[in-house]
């Protein structure tokens, strides 16, 4: 009994000593050199942060946007020159503002990289010149597709498509339109498309487009006159 009592007392004493040590605050066990007292102010306060260049919307962002737009224009012009060889056999006059038309134009351009027989002329461009295209003015060419052969012959409607496709190895697509009555039927179908093309593609009426173009031309001419040296 005495031994049992002594053992119990020893165990109780050891347990209380262990619990006491476990309950001690953690910071009391930290050695003195590691006390949490800052000696020198940190070097990363806000007043010492490195300045970060900010893109101001009114200045730097606009310059970057203008630079990117200029680069895109340069690439577009270069690509157009590459797609318009000097020794062309047929010239395609297309409306660059027509989204559906541009799908076909881009397909022909891609094929033309190999054949290099088509010259592409965007009639919606400010640089379009009727004098360089058999005197075909903007309004006339907007009415239906026109193509010009290297000898100056002007072809329209489905025949223009057939001639263009033949130059890039796709003549079989429109081959059947060489024969009557298929040719007449194909032209009639295309005529309906040409008549309602602007409405189908969600664009303004022809009168409004022509008015906007004339106003733009008049404004450009006025600015050019104002910039002439006096």
β pairing state of 146-149 and 90-94 = antiparallel
Mean pLDDT per 10-residue section of the chain, whose length is 230 residues:
45 45 41 45 45 44 41 44 72 95 96 96 94 96 96 97 97 95 96 94 92 82 54
* Domain ranges, ordered by start, for the chain: 83-223
pLDDT value for 151: 95
Partners of 122 in beta bridges: 94
Taking phi first (over 0 means left), then psi (-120 to 50 degrees means alpha), and beta for anything else, what does residue 94 get?
beta
CA 67, 69, 75 angle in degrees (round to 5)? 105
Q: Which alpha helices (DSSP H) does the chain contain, by range?
A: 2-22, 60-82, 99-115, 138-143, 157-166, 182-200, 206-226
Look up the pTM and report it.
0.60
- The strand pair at 146-149 and 118-122 is best described as unpaired
Rounded to 10 degrees, the C-alpha dihedral 121/122/126/131 comes to 40
b/e burial code for range 52-70 (CB count within 10 A of at least 16 → b): eeeeeeeeeeeeeeeeeee
111 within 8 A of 117, measured Cβ to Cβ = no
pLDDT at 47: 47
């Amino acid at each position: 009994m005495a031994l049992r009592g002594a053992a119990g007392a020893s165990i109780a004493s050891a347990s209380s000593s262990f619990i006491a040590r476990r309950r001690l605050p953690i910071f009391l066990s930290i050695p003195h050199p590691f006390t949490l007292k800052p000696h020198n102010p940190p070097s990363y306060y806000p007043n010492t942060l490195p300045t970060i260049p900010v893109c101001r919307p009114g200045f730097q962002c606009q310059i970057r946007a203008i630079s990117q737009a200029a680069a895109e224009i340069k690439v577009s012009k270069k690509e157009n020159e590459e797609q318009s060889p000097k020794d062309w056999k047929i010239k395609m006059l297309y409306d660059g503002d027509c989204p559906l038309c541009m799908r076909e134009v881009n397909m022909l351009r891609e094929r033309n990289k190999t054949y290099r027989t088509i010259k592409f002329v965007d009639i919606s461009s400010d640089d379009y010149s009727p004098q360089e295209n058999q005197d075909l003015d903007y309004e006339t060419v907007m009415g239906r597709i026109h193509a010009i052969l290297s000898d100056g012959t002007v072809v329209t409607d489905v025949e223009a498509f057939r001639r263009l496709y033949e130059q890039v190895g796709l003549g079989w697509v429109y081959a059947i339109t060489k024969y009557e009555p298929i040719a007449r039927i194909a032209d009639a179908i295309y005529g309906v498309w040409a008549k309602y093309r602007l409405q189908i593609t969600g664009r303004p009426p022809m009168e409004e487009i022509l008015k906007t173009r004339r106003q733009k031309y008049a404004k450009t001419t006025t600015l050019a006159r104002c910039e002439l040296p006096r």
